[in-house]
A = this chain, B = another copy of it.
Amino acid sequence: MNAPVLNAPRTVRLNAADNVVVAVDPVDVGAVAEGVTARARVPRGHKMATLPIPEGSPILKFGQIIGFAAKDIAPGDWVHEHNVGMHDFERDYRFAEDARVEEVLPVELQATFQGFRRANGKVGTRNYIGILTSVNCSASVARFMALEIERSGILEQYPNIDGVIPLVHGGGCALDVKGEGYDILKRTQWGYATNPNMAGVVMVGLGCEGFQIGRWKDAYGIKESDTFRTMTIQEIGGTKKTVQAGVEAIKTMLPIADAARRETVPASEILLALQCGGSDGYSGITANPALGAAVDLLVKHGGAAILSETPEIYGAEHLLTRRAATREIGEKLVDMIHWWEDYTARNKMEMNNNPSPGNKLGGLTTILEKSLGAAAKGGTKTLAGVYHYAEQVDAKGFVYMDTPGYDPVAATGQVAGGSNVLCFTTGRGSAYGCKPTPSIKLATNSEIYRRMLDDMDINCGDILDGVSIEEKGQEIFDTVLRIASGERSKSEQLGYGDAEFVPWTVGATM
């Protein structure tokens, strides 16, 4: 008996270049959305064409190709399996064919933030002292050191220091010291030791572990200094003496670390880690594309952002290879895809990101579209670099790092890569936080934002109510700069980050 609501269906345009919009509410025949009159019913979450798409032309969502018109599509048409095809696009990498020289603002026009310029030129957004551990066997000693510093009250004398963080983990021994697992841990430790958010580092080991501190120091030419000290429990002679030695080393570092001062630096010094966890049906239409818009802004301002989570972009790597700046960069990504196929097969699992029947009912037409929902947080810029897990990121612009999808493991790799800020989208609600890198949490819907207000920094749910992706992208970009300048994110206020250092464990534990 209710009058049909024809005029108010909400839709979202995910990128200005798109020829489709996504229906937030079901769009009935005859309803008008974005000035286009629907020619067919478009269910919630599905796509409606807003431009004519001739047969064979690409369907663009997230500013990316998600498939090709199988027949001529008119504005107002529902766009789904019945009129979208893939032909052999999937298996065709076309390295670098969409590479562009991206516009970067001159430094005097770049946005700025207040950061800690380090001796090596990198810029920190926080000022921590880290206690690294070579192996789980020294984890408690690292924590005892941090606890003793905390209990001593000495940090009150050093207001410019954000804290002393024990970075403990479950690995470091009984691994193949000539294998991938060792290399990953080696890079991760080095990345945390050199992250610009660290003002000083003590590394403590047991002594007999597979991950030998001496070998690690040799690999990177690391020298002991006033702000970098290593020690082992076996060498020093037990828990108490080692804690004492570590505390003394930290106390020597405190005044040095505290002398650091924030100064005005350009946004190009931001290396932003991109994460999503606890995704929902809104992730791909609100928070992820909004974060992508922020990334596009950041790249324009000279900064860099790291997309990751290989199992979640699987099937869309062909689009990333097209965006690769060079064939070499694209090929590195394809090699990673092949590595993952082997890794999962060896472990009796499989890479499969095809849309399920439920996904299709929800409006996802192709594997590209599904994976691009996760990849949307990377924006649309040329892929300037591809990195292995925990490799040092040295490019500016949009880059990719190979990681699992699992949040703490993925983020650990990105922080090791040098990230000084992290943005994390979540639909079902994540409580993730990180040290030494501040984590900003973006809710994909207003309900989870309200339910977890203590944990969420930004609500992207209002995109469903008409806030544009571009506006939200600007809000995220501005928030990144504020957090980078020292404003504390929600997870920092709550004290997160002491339990979330989780290096990727690859290989057998012997």
Contacts and interface: CB of A to CB of B under 8 A. Distances in A.
Interface of A: 136-141, 143-144, 168-170, 173-174, 176, 179, 206-208, 233-234, 237-242, 277-278, 311, 343-344, 346-349, 404-409, 428-433, 451-455, 494-500, 502, 504-510
A105 B233 CA distance: 42
Contacts of A500: 136, 139-140
26 contacts: A136-B407, A136-B500, A137-B407, A139-B500, A140-B494, A140-B498, A140-B499, A144-B495, A168-B499, A170-B505, A173-B406, A176-B349, A206-B429, A207-B278, A207-B429, A208-B429, A233-B429, A234-B278, A237-B429, A238-B452, A238-B453, A346-B346, A346-B347, A404-B510, A405-B510, A406-B510
B454 A240 contact: yes
A404 B505 CA distance: 14
Nearest to A428: B208
B431 A238 contact: yes
A59 to B, nearest CB: 28
Contacts of A454: 238-241
A296 B190 CA distance: 47
A136 B502 contact: yes
B494 A429 contact: no
Contacts of A509: 404, 406, 409, 504-506
A431 B428 CA distance: 40
Contacts of A406: 173-174, 509-510
Given A179-B348, A238-B453, A428-B234, A278 B208 contact: yes
A405 B173 CA distance: 9
State the main secondary structure of chain A at its contact with B. loop
Nearest to A169: B170
- How many copies the complex holds: the figure is 2
A140 B432 CA distance: 9
A137, A346, A453: most-surrounded residue (chain B CB, <10 A): A137
Contacts of A408: 136-137, 170
For the complex of A and B, list the 6 residue pairs with the smallest distance between their C-beta atoms, beginning with the closest. Answer: A174-B406, A139-B499, A238-B452, A347-B508, A170-B502, A237-B451
A143 B431 CA distance: 13
Given A174-B405, A495-B144, A510 B349 contact: yes
A201 to B, nearest CB: 19
A495 B139 CA distance: 12
B140 A496 contact: yes
Contacts of A140: 431, 433, 494-500
Given A277-B137, A278-B234, A508 B431 contact: no
Contacts of A233: 429, 431, 452
A408 B451 CA distance: 38
Contacts of A206: 278, 429-431
A360 to B, nearest CB: 21
Nearest to A432: B137
Contacts of A179: 348-349
A281 to B, nearest CB: 13
Contacts of A431: 137-138, 140-141, 206, 233, 238-239, 242
A141, A349, A432: most-surrounded residue (chain B CB, <10 A): A349
A425 to B, nearest CB: 13
A96 to B, nearest CB: 29
Contact of A174 (B143, B278, B409, B506): B409
A408 B505 CA distance: 15
Given A347-B508, A431-B206, A452 B237 contact: yes
